[in-house]
Amino acid sequence: MTLLWDELKAAVPLIFHGNPYLFSVIGFTLQVAAIATVIAAVIGLPLGLTLGLGRFRGRRWLQILANASLGLPPVLVGLFLFLVFVPQGPLGGWQLNTTRRAVYIAQAILAMPYTVTLTAAAVQGLPSELLSQARLLGAGRLQLAALALREARIGVIAAVLAALGTALSEVAAIAIVGGNVYGYDQTLASAALYEANQARYADSVAIAIVLLVLIVILMGGVSLLQHSGGGVRMRFRAGPAAELG
């Protein structure tokens, strides 16, 4: 317990004394989290909407697969990408291993299941009467998707924040495909692991504190979303069924 307290006391000043290494790691962590989350949202939100609104054969199995992907081991993703990116691999010519681009790809893959699965769940949680009425009023697919996205916005934003949290805190895939190169492709999580392996415990604790603060801020955003709300507004051109009614 004494050791932990001593390292904690030594770690706190490192955060406020302008450590260039720490600031560079924070900057890269935020960059990775932003890029990975944007990629996961651009690809995952349409997929989540399709799963949530779609009526097609095999939808249930796709939902099971999407739910299972939430438990995808990061080390498995890292190993798969490593084997794909090695010179002998399918994408070996791209020379991505031990690069920052590999880190972006790995984090985006790990974040995407959250945007897909949680978006689908949020859309499916909407009142069935809402979507039925929208269809009756002549809403097309894009209008229906826009309505579902707006009315399920709290769940959708929570899905994006969950993806952001994963991109901030995951370490295994980064260590494998990025190499955890000192001062180059380290995020806060991988840098904390690196410093601990080097027995620089105060530095490791300082990095962990910063990461914890970012996660707490993120969770605070989720809590604020849970207390927000909004009404339903639909403005569609009436379709034939509505006009006959």
CA distances from 113 to 157, 158, 195 (A): 14, 13, 30
Residue closest to 77 by CA, chosen among 171, 183, 194, 191: 171
Residue closest to 237 by CA, chosen among 155, 137, 170: 137
Q: List the chain domain ranges.
A: 2-240
Residues 157 and 78: their CA atoms lie apart, in Å, by 27
Residues 124 and 49: their CA atoms lie apart, in Å, by 9
Residues 11 and 9: their CA atoms lie apart, in Å, by 5
Pick one of 2.40.160.60, 2.60.120.650, 1.10.3720.10, 1.10.1740.10 as the CATH number of 2-240. 1.10.3720.10
Residues 33 and 201: their CA atoms lie apart, in Å, by 25
Residues 133 and 145: their CA atoms lie apart, in Å, by 14
Give pLDDT, residue 100.
94
Q: What is the pLDDT along the chain (245 residues), one digit of tens a residue?
A: 676 777 877 888 888 877 788 889 999 999 999 999 999 999 999 999 999 988 888 888 999 999 999 999 999 999 999 999 999 999 999 999 999 999 999 999 999 999 999 999 999 998 888 888 887 877 778 888 888 999 998 899 989 999 999 999 999 999 999 988 998 999 999 999 999 999 888 889 999 999 999 888 887 877 776 666 544 444 444 444 444 34
Give pLDDT, residue 218.
81
Give pLDDT, residue 87.
92
Q: Which residues contact 107 (CB under 8 A, 6 or more apart)?
A: 32, 33, 35, 36, 166, 167, 170, 173, 174
Give pLDDT, residue 174.
92
Give pLDDT, residue 226.
63
CB 185 within 8 A of CB 103: yes
143-175 burial: b if 16+ Cβ within 10 Å, else e: bbbebbbebbebbbbbbbbbbbbbbbbbbbbbb
Two tokens at 197?
């392996």
At 31, the amino acid letter reads Q
